[in-house]
Structure 1
Amino acid sequence: MHKFKDNHKILFRLSALGDLILTTGVIDFWAEKYGWTFSVITKQQYAAPLENNPHITEIIRLNKEDLGDLAWITKAGRLSNKYEGCELIDLHSTLRSRILSQRWHGPVSRYKKFSLERRAFKLTGSEKLEKILESKPVTVRYASAIEKNLPAPENLLPHIYLTDDEKEDALAKMAHKKLSKGFIALHPYATHPDKSWPREYWIELINQLDAKGLQWAVIGKDTNELNVDKAEWNFTNKFSLRQTCALLSEAKYLVTGDSGPMHLAAGVGTPVIAMFGPTSRAWGFYPAGKNDKILESDLKCRPCSLHGKSNCSKNRECLKSIHPVSILKLL
């Protein structure tokens, strides 16, 4: 067992990418307010945005083998022994985090997930519930694990700490492709098909950007790469997470759906234009920066799911009704 200082906390959040990035805002807040440092428990594949964070002394990276049912019980016991006496801050509130909490040798704090309120809103469409949920984005809900008086969303914005080398590398890659600062970053991909803006809309948007003399670059990962005329500005599947963050830091805007890169851009201070279809701001996973914009349709069937996994029976009308001209007006 190691001896840790009283101001060192263990923070638990596994997935998904955007959810983990959103923890960085509350980490900054607690570090400044209380002088805390953190060990963060998360999945290996999402850990990169936490690197170089001055408040995180250790990233505990879990792989698939760690997370099997019996394996996790064993791993949870080892973590509890190693960090005995430290406070565990559970920012996930899942079965795995509950198992860890049961085995934990120290205080445990857990955030308010607003699960009942979200379910009630999905069933009723209550405007009152919608306003309550939208006023408490996930960053504020995270803060509820510790804070009685909840901070404002603008005090909890995500923060990804890039190194000077990463920034210089991004500029070198841009120079090689004759891409200038202030380009428009485009993320045309989605984990779930129902969250995808039509590909023909992306091509139309690119054509309009070209007509206006605005530079653009496609970022993200997908097995079905978007085909564009200027292949040199298509960085699909070419960059790591941190390289993507560095590139995004030089963009004027990121245009995207409700996605992980939406939070990557927010974490490096780049304004986001995000299109929400099957999901909703009420779920809490939205960019809250003063220059961020969210486009969504006023359809009674929205939101139809928490993560966009539902099979749409209306041919994705919610996203098809958002046309490229709506985005061009915001640039």
Structure 2
Amino acid sequence: MAKSNIRHILVIRLSAMGDVAMTVPVLLALTQKYPDIKITFLTKPFFGPIVAGIPNINVFTADVKGTHKGLLGLWKLFKQLKKLDLDAVADLHNVLRSNILKVLFKLNGIPTEQMDKGRKEKRELTSGKLKELKPLKPMHLRYISVFEKLGFHFPIFKDHILAKLEVNKDLGRIFLTENKKVIGIAPFAAFPGKIYPLAFMKTLVSQLEALQDVKIVLFGGGQKEQAILEGWENSLSNSFSVAGKTTFKEELALISNLDLMISMDSGNGHLAAMYGVPVITLWGVTHPTAGFVPFGQSEENQITSDRRSYPLIPTSVYGNKFPSGYDRVMETIAPEQIFKRVKLILQKD
């Protein structure tokens, strides 16, 4: 099908949070260049608010643990999507579930294209062998290539970001009423190979509080993380945990109004980047060269563990695999190193 005949595209990106967030600048660039294009974005219910504010986007949620679970569930999902009169499918996920959907759409004459994840080159990058680091294709460019194969060509710039959201009055009174910089800190990640030592992070938070002209917002999820952050909140004077206290939409609004986010190689950094917030990312056994740097962020904002001491880095794309002894790689990042970068960013603002 020629591009001129494509009016309605199904975009598939079911997970994870950071990967969904990285679609945002691409979809903004696409809809700016092609304002008549309609997009149905297929994702999990929790992630819908991430893309809901983009022009021409309708969110369709997949209940992958219930109604749309298994082959029968995918068949039900396909029949629901088919009713939407789609012209093409852009698979930005490329997993078994999305591949099955693509087969069904192809059998019904609807063209599909999928993202090249670069699995082979990522395996080589994380092989556990000594190697020269060569940057892989960034994720947002992998997404763009899918639309290019469908015939859509468009530039992407740093200003392809979402506007700040309005923070509700209660949160606004806590965080946004004083003339202070608001720093978000998200100290957790899905895998231990990406988590900065918590003792080091608390030291950093204490150093930041000493600046006096800042407020610190702590982000996390799950009971264990909530308990840790509440302990920090109680022992520190100017740090506040929102873990378990806000809805996801409220959290997004707060993130959009931050002056700075400090994050692991994880979803919160990508959420902040999609609003144009400066993000300092701390890298453990993963590395920026794998292509997952938050959108629009400078190289100086990528603080990596010391490869001279741990030359096999990166050992994993996700942070879940590392050889013996590599669980301590992030101890090579001193809190003072991060603190120095924070001060430089806040001075620029």
TM > 0.5 between the two?
yes
Tell me how far apart the structure 1 counterparts of residues 159 and 323 of structure 2 sit (CA, whole Å): 32
Q: Is the 8 A contact 2:184 2:260 kept in 1?
A: yes
Q: Does 1:222 align with 2:249?
A: no
One-letter amino acid of the structure 2 residue matched with residue 204 of structure 1: T
- Residue equivalent to 1:8: 8
Alignment CA distance shift 1:196-1:109 (3 Å): same
Tell me how far apart the structure 2 counterparts of residues 222 and 46 of structure 1 sit (CA, whole Å): 17
Q: Does 1:112 align with 2:116?
A: yes
Q: Is the 8 A contact 1:218 1:233 kept in 2?
A: yes
Show CA shifts across 1:73-125 (max 9, x none): 32243145313452100101111111101110311121221111111222255
- Residue equivalent to 1:238: 245
Alignment CA distance shift 1:62-1:169 (3 Å): farther
Tell me how far apart the structure 1 counterparts of residues 339 and 174 of structure 2 sit (CA, whole Å): 26
Tell me how far apart the structure 1 counterparts of residues 181 and 146 of structure 2 sit (CA, whole Å): 38
Show CA shifts across 1:189-244 (max 9, x none): 22222211111111111111122324222122232223222376222221222222
* Percent identity for Structure 1 against Structure 2: 27
One-letter amino acid of the structure 2 residue matched with residue 273 of structure 1: I
Equivalent of residue 131 in structure 1, options 112, 130, 134: 134
SS at match of 1:233: strand
Alignment of 1:69-218 (within 5 A): 69-104=70-105, 105=108, 106-123=110-127, 126-127=131-132, 130-133=133-136, 136-147=137-148, 155=157, 159-160=161-162, 163-164=165-166, 166=167, 170-174=171-175, 180-215=179-214, 216-218=216-218
One-letter amino acid of the structure 2 residue matched with residue 37 of structure 1: K
Q: Does 1:272 align with 2:279?
A: yes
1:65 to partner: Cα distance? 1.2
Q: Is the 8 A contact 1:14 1:42 kept in 2?
A: yes
Alignment CA distance shift 1:218-1:288 (3 Å): same
Tell me how far apart the structure 2 counterparts of residues 309 and 115 of structure 1 sit (CA, whole Å): 16
Tell me how far apart the structure 2 counterparts of residues 210 and 290 of structure 1 sit (CA, whole Å): 24
1:317 to partner: Cα distance? 2.5
One-letter amino acid of the structure 1 residue matched with residue 18 of structure 2: G
Alignment CA distance shift 1:62-1:77 (3 Å): closer
Equivalent of residue 250 in structure 1, options 257, 267, 280: 257
1:169 to partner: Cα distance? 5.9
User: How many residues of Structure 1 are paired with residues of Structure 2 in the alignment?
Assistant: 318
SS at match of 1:155: coil
Tell me how far apart the structure 2 counterparts of residues 183 and 173 of structure 1 sit (CA, whole Å): 11
- Residue equivalent to 2:330: 319
Tell me how far apart the structure 1 counterparts of residues 51 and 174 of structure 2 sit (CA, whole Å): 23
Alignment CA distance shift 1:196-1:163 (3 Å): closer
SS at match of 1:330: helix
Which 10-residue stretch deviates more, 281-290 or 90-99?
A: 281-290
Alignment CA distance shift 1:34-1:54 (3 Å): closer
SS at match of 2:124: helix
Tell me how far apart the structure 2 counterparts of residues 185 and 78 of structure 1 sit (CA, whole Å): 42
How well do the aligned residues superpose, as a CA RMSD in angstroms? 2.6
Q: Is the 8 A contact 1:157 1:267 kept in 2?
A: no
Q: Is the 8 A contact 1:140 1:156 kept in 2?
A: no
Show CA shifts across 1:116-158 (max 9, x none): 111122225543xx4340xx21000010112279877x62777
Question: Which runs of 5 or more residues in structure 2 are unaligned?
Answer: 343-349
- Residue equivalent to 2:302: 294
- Residue equivalent to 1:17: 17
- Residue equivalent to 2:347: none
**TM-score for both structures, normalised by structure 2:** 0.82
Tell me how far apart the structure 2 counterparts of residues 14 and 223 of structure 1 sit (CA, whole Å): 24
**TM-score for both structures, normalised by structure 1:** 0.86
One-letter amino acid of the structure 1 residue matched with residue 284 of structure 2: G
